[in-house]
Amino acid sequence: MKIAVASGKGGTGKTTVAVSLALSVPDAQLVDADAEEPNCHLFLRPSIQRTIPVYMMVPHVDLTKCDFCRKCADFCAFNALAVVKEQVLVFPELCHGCTGCVYVCPREAIVARQRQIGEVEIGAARGMVFIQGRLKPTEPSAVRIVREEIAQIDPKGGPAIIDASPGTACAVQDTIGQSQFCLLVTEPTPFGLHDLKMAMDVAQELGVPSGVVINRNGARDSIIEDECRKRNIPVLLKIPFDRRVAEAYSRGQPLVDAFPEWRESLRSLYREIERRVMT
Amino acid sequence: MKIAVTSTGSDLDAQIDPRFGRAQYLLIIDVESYEVEAIENPNIAAGGGAGIQTSQLVVDRGAEAVLTGNCGPNAFRTLAAAGLKIYTGLNGSVREAVESLKSGELTPTEGPSVPGHFGSSG
Ligand code: SF4
Ligand code: SF4
């Protein structure tokens, strides 16, 4: 089973929930799919055993074959090609590697070359399988990295907990779409609610069942619960506001290490997710 | 000589639009006759690569120079590859900009004046 842990925005405690959940269920596989800023390793200090480079195709134009007909540039939906005055310009950072231009060119002047956009690292952390992706800072899209990470999950292994990147960009949608359940971590503020709604919409559109974890919950904070009730999305866990939780986080200590009493709550969270996915 | 000026309106008295790729209008102006062809920029809402597409457009219309406020790296690369001179930092009316070019007051820019995605909102 694959569980995506997502949040509409950063700083909601998504990572600490994902890491703590993985530490509380047996044989979990933890996937850090925030390839732009992976941070689960800060909590788990994994040992990396394998590194898999991830490539993307980039067109290369042989100008001796080209007659500047511009079919390639007209075809490219991402404006990654321009044909001006006997030159074909390629803008690699806009190219999505769809290979379309290679086939569209009537003169076979374009060949697909590869460039490395990042890597996926596989290792172990505290008895768990640990997978994380890293996107090169100059690269615009983490989608391919995240796909490679998900492809590395052992289908015969235990549940995969995937820490998605914050926001609702393509890579996050991809992560949620490939999961059986989407756990949404939020905080009870108007901003939190706003971004949570966007993330709920994504899960809903993709047909992936979701549930909510409210972090830093205060006694009178009902705005998240009201929204969940309206949409019929369950609130599965509330983590009360506690300065010590934040302090543990800043020391790089997952919730369940700092407060072992949370382990049981996270286990029942997992059982509840399992029940909802199975039925 | 024809030049392209980014503009907020369709005639010579309109103000310069400081954005290049997402300028509202592109005025293709014959600097001798002051004949103007106004093009509503189709790339305002482009997801990415607006600067490249707008460059392609002005190159195709035969412009030999571009007068604008700011020019990002992709547009700069495309315009420079086509041999256009690029003048940035302009403001005021389109007519004033054309006149200052004709009087030799302007010097072309050597590189992009803003980082990528400057004129876009997302
Ligand atoms: S489609 Fe092929 S021949 Fe036509 S401009 Fe592109 S590279 Fe050149
Ligand atoms: S591979 Fe696809 S995205 Fe990249 S330049 Fe070619 S057509 Fe555009």
User: Interface pTM (ipTM) of the complex?
Assistant: 0.81
Residue B6 domain boundaries: 2-102
Number of domains forming the structure of chain B: 1
Beta bridge partners of A31: A131, A162
Instruction: Determine the straight-line distance between the first and last CA of chain B, rounded to whole angstroms.
Output: 36
**CA nearest neighbour of A38 among A128, A165, A147:** A165
| pTM given for the model | 0.73
- B112 DSSP assignment: -
Scanning the structure block, which residue is given the tokens 């800072």? A137
B40 inside domain? yes
B97 inside domain? yes
**CA nearest neighbour of B2 among B96, B79, B67:** B67
8 A C-beta contact, residue B47 and residue B122: no
B111 inside domain? no
B66 inside domain? yes
Where is A174: in which H helix or E strand? helix A170-177
Give the CA count within 13 Å in the CB-facing half-sphere of A153.
25
For residue B86 the two structure tokens come to 């690029």
**pLDDT at position B119:** 53
B1 close contact with A: CB closer than 8 A? no
Rg (CA), chain B: 13
Taking the C-alpha atoms of residue A109 and residue A98, their distance in angstroms, rounded to an integer, is 16
**pLDDT at position B95:** 96
- How close is the nearest chain B Cα to the Cα of A89, in Å? 7
Taking the C-alpha atoms of residue B12 and residue A15, their distance in angstroms, rounded to an integer, is 56
B113 inside domain? no
What CATH class does A63-108 carry? Answer: alpha beta
CATH number, domain containing residue B80: 3.30.420.130
Is A59's C-beta closer than 6 angstroms to any atom of ligand 2? yes
B72 inside domain? yes
Scanning the structure block, which residue is given the tokens 């609130």? A235
B65-115 pLDDT per residue, tens:
999 999 999 999 999 999 999 999 999 999 999 999 999 999 998 877 777
Q: For domain A2-54+119-278, give its CATH number from 3.40.50.880, 3.30.365.10, 3.40.50.300, 3.40.50.1220.
A: 3.40.50.300
Contacts of A80 in chain B (CB under 8 A): 49
Is A105's C-beta closer than 6 angstroms to any atom of ligand 1? yes
Residues 6+ apart with CB under 8 A from B71: B20, B51, B79, B86, B88, B109, B112, B113, B114
Look at residue B121 and tell me whether its pLDDT is greater than 50. Answer: no
B60 inside domain? yes
